[in-house]
């Protein structure tokens, strides 16, 4: 194995180079502080590999996203969300028997304790859904005492979020809860529990169900993002899966992470209130002196077209055509999309529509309230959080996460008496 040389104060230090299966290169600096007395400073961890993982591979320069080696394009077109859950959490795509077993268990564990509903009903109806969701997962440990990392805990999280998301929506709308159906898949059950009538048989639009399924698949995991890293960080203290997932929900709630699709709709509303002149706002986006920013375009990781956005563009078109909607905001979105795909300013800078742009359009078409958008994100991402948490806990190099810092405060000083302060 080759080494990297670091020279500090004239002394050379050797550190092993680690190569990933896709030729990624990292320098193992686990012994850096012990051998040199120094630490690496990397604000935001943008150049720091926090772990070795076999779950998700991203090549941002070439627009590549794979779950355990499978291209996202093939997964989105050929398998169900339940199969992706199995792939991420249990490591491989399931056979028919295992898939049917997983579907049955997801239905079984989708039924939540009545006490969880009482906690939900104690929140103000105007509270943000993500705050509700995080609190409910924190409460899970009081109703379902954890045994560490059992499959039962995993199933309660994977199935429970479907019910919790639907119940949060129903509670905020003042509607009676609809229980999960054993005859429906994950995405159809979500639609049934969210939009169905209490006591009535399910009535599911297959085009919409398919679009939801793709959204969940595309959001299922995205490597060491903020919420996945948070889930790992909390789990590294040997906190329960429930506590770790609640923390992941909290991280996702931030506007710089999971709240981006909500920001897309708020931007479209601002354009509409400005008389809907898309060309005017496009010019504002080009103007560095303007405070206006186009939301839902470009991506921190992808320097090419977000592969998830290509898939969702087709789904958005299918949903809008199927529902036959006449919505001014969606018209603005489509016009903005066309400009961004053709205007040299955006093309040159690779500011293509991303997954948040199209997911926001689909959620709007389904009449999902804007503040519920991030809950929809979490609905898919929880499978990735569980997979990341399990991988971290089973890592032979497992240890509590504890970043270092460079102190820039005051040097040692004496405490003056209060009369002299």
| C-alpha Rg value of the chain to the nearest Å | 24
Tell me whether residue 128 is one of the annotated catalytic residues: no
**Per-residue DSSP letters for 351-416?**
--B-HHHHHHHHHHHTT--GGGHHHHHHHHHHHHHHHHHHHHHH-TT-----------S----PPP
How far is CA 165 from its chain centroid?
15
Neighbours of 20 (CB within 10 A): 13
Q: Contact 296/260 with Cβ under 8 angstroms?
A: yes
Which helix H or strand E contains 249, and what residues bound it?
A: helix 241-252
d(CA 11, CA 123): 60
Give percent helix, percent strand, percent coil of the chain, each to the nearest 5.
55, 5, 40
Closest CA to 65 of 46, 38, 88: 88
- DSSP 3-state assignment of 100? helix
Residue 156 CA: distances (Å) to CA of 102, 135, 251: 12, 15, 21
Kindly give the residue spans of alpha helices, DSSP state H, lying in 260-372.
260-273, 278-286, 307-323, 328-342, 344-348, 355-365
Tell me whether residue 356 is one of the annotated catalytic residues: yes
Q: Which residue among 86, 219, 222, 299 is the active-site one?
A: 299
Q: Which residue among 153, 213, 306, 356 is the active-site one?
A: 356
Residues 6+ apart with CB under 8 A from 269: 329
Catalytic residue positions? 299, 356
């Amino acid at each position: 194995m080759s080494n990297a040389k670091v020279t500090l104060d004239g002394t050379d230090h050797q550190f092993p180079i680690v190569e990933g299966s896709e030729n990624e290169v990292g320098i193992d600096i686990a012994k850096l502080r012990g051998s040199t007395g120094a630490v690496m400073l990397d604000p935001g961890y943008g150049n720091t590999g926090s772990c070795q993982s076999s779950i998700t591979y991203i090549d941002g320069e070439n627009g590549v996203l794979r779950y355990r080696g499978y291209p996202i394009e093939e997964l989105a077109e050929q398998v169900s969300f339940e199969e992706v859950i199995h792939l991420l959490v249990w490591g491989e795509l399931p056979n028919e028997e295992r898939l049917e077993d997983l579907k049955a268990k997801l239905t079984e564990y989708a039924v939540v304790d009545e006490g969880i509903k009482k906690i939900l009903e104690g929140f103000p109806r105007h509270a943000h859904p993500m705050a509700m969701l995080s609190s409910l997962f924190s409460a899970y440990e009081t109703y379902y005492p954890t045994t560490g990392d059992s499959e039962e805990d995993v199933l309660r999280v994977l199935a429970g979020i479907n019910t919790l998301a639907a119940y949060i929506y129903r509670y905020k709308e003042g509607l009676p809860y609809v229980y999960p159906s054993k005859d429906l898949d994950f995405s159809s059950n979500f639609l049934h529990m969210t939009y169905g009538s209490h006591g009535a048989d399910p009535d599911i639009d297959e085009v919409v169900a398919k679009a939801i399924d793709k959204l969940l698949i595309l959001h299922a995991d995205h490597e060491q993002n903020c919420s996945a890293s948070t889930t790992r960080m909390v789990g590294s203290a040997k906190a329960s899966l429930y506590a770790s997932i609640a923390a992941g929900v909290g991280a996702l709630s931030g506007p710089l992470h999971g709240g981006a699709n909500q920001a897309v709709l708020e931007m479209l509303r601002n354009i509409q209130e400005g008389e809907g002149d898309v060309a005017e706002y496009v010019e504002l986006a080009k103007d560095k002196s303007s405070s206006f920013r186009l939301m839902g375009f470009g991506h921190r990781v992808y320097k090419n077209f977000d592969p998830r956005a290509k898939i969702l563009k087709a789904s958005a078109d299918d949903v809008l055509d199927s529902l036959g909607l006449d919505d001014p905001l969606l018209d603005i979105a489509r016009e903005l999309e066309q400009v961004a795909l053709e205007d040299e300013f955006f093309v040159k800078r690779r500011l293509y529509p991303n997954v948040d742009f199209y997911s926001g359009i689909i959620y709007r078409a389904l009449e999902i309230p804007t503040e519920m958008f991030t809950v929809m994100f979490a609905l898919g991402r929880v499978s990735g959080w569980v997979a990341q948490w399990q991988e971290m806990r089973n890592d032979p190099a497992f240890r509590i996460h504890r970043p270092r810092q460079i102190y820039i405060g005051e040097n040692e000083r004496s405490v003056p008496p209060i009369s002299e302060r």
